[in-house]
Structure 1
Amino acid sequence: MTTTRAEAAYLRSVTAFKNPMLDLLHGRFAPFVVAVLSNVFSPDRPAVAVADAHVEVAEAMDELRAAGYDTEDDRRLPAGSARDICRGWVRVGWLSLQIEDDVEVYRLSAHAVGALEIAGRAGGGRARVSRSRVRTLLDAVERLARDAETDPERRREALLAERAALDAEIAALDEGVIEPLDDEHLLEEAENVIHLARELPADFSRVAESIAAMQRDVVAELRRDARPTGDVLREYLERGRHVMQATPEGRAFQGALRLIGDPEHIDDLTDQLHAVLTQPFARLLTIEQRRELDAIARRVEAGVLEVLTAQRRASHVITVQVKTHDPIRDRQVDDLLRSVMAGLHRWSQTKTPGRVEPVRTLPLADIGHLRRSLSDVRPPGAPEPLASDESDVEFVDADTRAWGGPHYAELEAYVETLGESFDLAEAFARADEYTRRPVDLVGLLEIAHRRGLAEGDEVSVVEAVRPDGTTRRFAFTAVTAVRTTETDADD
């Protein structure tokens, strides 16, 4: 079916009016929305804490009701609390809810910024078709034509003509000839600058929102990606690092950032605006116009910061999501959430759903004792004593305890029978075969060390017997154990 011109135009208009910006401007409570948003948010205050915004909106509603702007016959204010109104604005896309420095804040969306800018221009009168505005258009067209020119000769001619005009102006200044512009013309130039600057906040917000939307798309796509984590890791990390190039708005912003991203450029812009405001013609500007001129540099700086913050946040979120990506776990969580929602839907459809007791506390796991200090390496309490009853001990092939450590009890009892001093090698050779294992030699040396040792110049050699009957010879410096008395220790 062929669409007529009228029908096509009507469909375009219907689509346009679905835009949140136009929805804000033509809604029933549009004057209230524009007034409150313009009071709560400003170029110097782009983000407002949620609690503060609710208080300020409530105060504005009380003041307007007290002034008689909301009566039973003429409802000009929306119903509900300030919190409900702000949350509604978030749902329709006029405000965005973000977390900054662990605080929940509201920010104007690009649609709301554009609507406020349109309302401000309409309330301040229609823009004039001035020489400055036409000159801006002609300069933009001329620059576009020059940049699009591919013929080197023509581009060279255009540059030479531009240089000749500059040389003529410099020569006139050298001769002292200057043609000062009248105040009316300078006023037109200032109004044109203000007009151009008013569009910047909405442009910056659109870039930040396009990056946030791209981040949400990437995360959603990642959750749907059934490939193994190793296959998607490199791809999505690369998208996170180059998040700015992922949207047309981001690529355009990168080009603009080369002009305004340097702090020196912002400082130069601030100095130039201050110099303009000190000129005699500035007295013709209204207080609001002077304030807007003075705030241009801060608007640019805040807009750049907003976009760069959105870029860092998107890169961080994508990177974290990729590192924790687990397709199986994600599908399990999605299935669980869908089953819960389906159960709630079925329950809500019953005629008498009844009362559901809320889960006020989660069950606690009985984990006994938690360490309270990481610096304390000692256990929280003494361990239970080892059982000494060997009646229920059974070994399948052999008693593996024979391969354990030294038999200290037997060795201590054996040493007590050796007198005040003894040679370690001779004592080990005369010990029972059960206590002549290699580890028992170490245990005997430890006991002798506690009593006192005297090393000689000779070398002692002993033969140790392992539990399986094999032997092992050890050589060491001759050692004599001498019992140390308390008097000897004092001396």
Structure 2
Amino acid sequence: MSTRIEGAYEGAVRAFQSPMLALLHKRHAPLIVTLLASVFTSARPSVAVAEVHTEVGDALDQLRAAGNDNLPVGSARELCKQWVDAGWLIRQADDADVEVYRLSAHAVGALDIASRAGGPRSRVSQSRVRTLLQAVDHLASEADPDAERRRERLREAIRRLEWELERLELNDVVEPADDEVLREEAENVLALVRELPADFARVAESIRDLQRQVVAALRQDERPTGEVLREYLHRAEHVLDATAEGRAFAGALRLVGDPDRLDRLQEQLDIVLHQPFAEKLPAVQRIELASLSQQLERGIDTVLTAQRTASRVIAAQVRHHDPLRDREVDDLLRDAIVELAAWMPTTRRNEPVEGLRRLPRAQVGRLRTTLDDLAPQSRPARLAASPALEDEPATLDLARRWGGPSYSELRAHIEAFAAEAGGELDLAAAFEAAPEDLRRPADLVGLFEIADRFGLTDGDEIVEVVAIRPDGTRRRLAFSAASARLTDPDSPDPADGAS
């Protein structure tokens, strides 16, 4: 006796530790249920993260303005983060790479329980009993291996249908059903439909769990990639047969795969909604009945989206898998967690954190200059003498002729040239008009330096000039046409102040 009680108690403890019952057991459970039910509907199973934060924030402001003080502290963003951590919301990216929130299977189940408890009390109706009897009859028919008894049941069904057909052919009158009975039938259908979203969500979450397990196995790199993928394909193939929710999804998938059956379902719903008894149903129930086929399609799309996402994530992991890099990332994250665990106890709430303004400089030390040759490095070979300078002694005048620009001479030349042109200085024309000792390549650079002090203007045309080196060799140089206007002849020379 004690063992049975202990086992039942442990099972109850595990049940109340699940996110679904934990949600209903929270202090602010009515508020959480209300907010989740208002944001996520059957027509909007996934909502963008920013929209959820805005809608939850607006709802909290309205409740506070109405005088409700018993509300949780924190912003809408903080509340949504808490709900994600508790397993009631799922944050993910949709096919358009937009971050969205979805209700988890636990949250869907909790909302269904709250809706049933707050709605009309369930009754033992004729419709529920008929559904039960039909289910038992179908179960007995499928489980009974006796062929004779099965034939007898089929003959009985045929006789019943033939009798109904003969009656209709005789008087052509359909006995109208009582409105109360039809309403009970509609409530029974809706009760069955409300079970589907949670079932679909559980199947999608089982696929996401499988995705996380496969990615973790690939990152750990403890087994060959082919073995991990074979296991994934096997489990993905049988995920729909492993649970009751998976089998329900497989049946719904077969339904959606038959367009005629879907069309027939929609026609039947239209017939029901156009009957007089349907006008007496609450507006919420009429909407649920009208959107039944859409709910099936959305639920199936949720599971198929989870399958596509899992395949895409696993394929990307296999394609870009780098065991060394993954281990380095894991080590860095582990070190960060250790540092945070040591830092958190020494801090206060809302204490500012000084951010890292720049990365630390790496202490490289001395790099090796040779890798495989242990012999000492030899001196570089002597530079070959220039043929043009072999017969001329090294003098100061030679160094000046082969050195930098002659700023003073260039300044005097361009001032005289610009004066003849009314102050306008065309650099290409001025360089071509200079004497040969001022047409060295270095002097062209000096010419640009001087002209730049007067506001150099570039043109669209490409011009060419011929530069003459001290040894008489010529070089053709091309540059964008440039000009300047010499308006301040007393501007300091570039050479002024040079040491």
TM-score, with structure 2 as normaliser: 0.66
Q: Would you say 1:156 and 2:144 are equivalent positions?
A: no
Residues 40, 56 of structure 1: 8 Å contact kept: yes
Q: Which residue of 1 aligns with 2:72?
A: 78
Residues 252, 300 of structure 2: 8 Å contact kept: no
Matches within 5 A, 1:456-471: none
Q: Which residue of 1 aligns with 2:272?
A: 276
Q: Which residue of 2 aligns with 1:7?
A: 6
Residues 211, 243 of structure 1: 8 Å contact kept: no
Q: Which residue of 2 aligns with 1:299?
A: 295
Q: Would you say 1:90 and 2:79 are equivalent positions?
A: no
Equivalent of residue 137 in structure 1, options 132, 136, 146: 132
Task: List per-residue Cα deviations over 1:224-244 (Å, max 9, x = no partner).
Answer: 342444x43752573587375
Task: List per-residue Cα deviations over 1:365-400 (Å, max 9, x = no partner).
Answer: xxxxxxxxxxxxxxxxxxxxxxxx9969xxxxxxxx
- Report the secondary structure of 1:98's partner residue: strand
1:319: how far off? 2.2
Q: Which residue of 2 aligns with 1:113?
A: 108
Decide which moves more: 148-157 or 187-196: 148-157
Distance 1:362 1:134 in 2: 74
Matches within 5 A, 1:50-449: 50-70=49-69, 75=70, 77-100=71-94, 101-176=96-171, 178-229=174-225, 231-232=226-227, 235=230, 238-239=233-234, 242=237, 244-245=239-240, 247-248=242-243, 249-346=245-342, 356-359=354-357
What amino acid sits opposite 1:68 in the alignment? G
Distance 1:303 1:106 in 2: 15
- Report the secondary structure of 1:175's partner residue: helix
Query: Structure 1 residues 205 and 234, CA, compared in 2 at 3 Å: closer, same or farther?
Result: closer
Query: Structure 1 residues 226 and 329, CA, compared in 2 at 3 Å: closer, same or farther?
Result: farther
1:288: how far off? 2.0
1:190: how far off? 0.8
Query: Structure 1 residues 89 and 147, CA, compared in 2 at 3 Å: closer, same or farther?
Result: same
1:69: how far off? 1.4
Residues 274, 294 of structure 1: 8 Å contact kept: yes
Query: Structure 1 residues 333 and 189, CA, compared in 2 at 3 Å: closer, same or farther?
Result: same
Residues 243, 311 of structure 1: 8 Å contact kept: no
What amino acid sits opposite 1:157 in the alignment? E
Distance 1:53 1:225 in 2: 38
Q: Which residue of 2 aligns with 1:27?
A: 26
What amino acid sits opposite 2:107 in the alignment? A
* Structure 1: gaps spanning 5 or more residues: 364-388, 393-491
Task: List per-residue Cα deviations over 1:272-319 (Å, max 9, x = no partner).
Answer: 212111111112212222122122222111111111111111122222
Residues 237, 322 of structure 1: 8 Å contact kept: no
Task: List per-residue Cα deviations over 1:295-352 (Å, max 9, x = no partner).
Answer: 2222111111111111111122222222333434433432343234334445667799
Residues 194, 293 of structure 1: 8 Å contact kept: yes
- Report the secondary structure of 1:87's partner residue: helix
Residues 255, 262 of structure 2: 8 Å contact kept: no
1:113: how far off? 1.1
- Report the secondary structure of 1:106's partner residue: strand
TM-score, with structure 1 as normaliser: 0.67
Distance 2:213 2:176 in 1: 55
Distance 1:162 1:307 in 2: 37
Query: Structure 1 residues 149 and 84, CA, compared in 2 at 3 Å: closer, same or farther?
Result: same
RMSD, aligned α-carbons: 2.9
Query: Structure 1 residues 102 and 354, CA, compared in 2 at 3 Å: closer, same or farther?
Result: closer
Q: Work out which structure has the larger RCO, using CA pairs closer than 8 Å and 6 or more positions apart in sequence.
A: 1
- Report the secondary structure of 1:105's partner residue: strand
What amino acid sits opposite 2:181 in the alignment? H
Q: Which residue of 1 aligns with 2:35?
A: 36
1:108: how far off? 0.9
Corresponding pairs, count: 360
Distance 1:210 1:105 in 2: 19
Distance 1:10 1:92 in 2: 23
Query: Structure 1 residues 134 and 339, CA, compared in 2 at 3 Å: closer, same or farther?
Result: same
- Report the secondary structure of 1:120's partner residue: helix
Decide which moves more: 282-291 or 199-208: 282-291
Distance 1:257 1:313 in 2: 18
Decide which moves more: 23-32 or 268-277: 268-277
Distance 1:246 1:160 in 2: 33
Q: Which residue of 2 aligns with 1:16?
A: 15
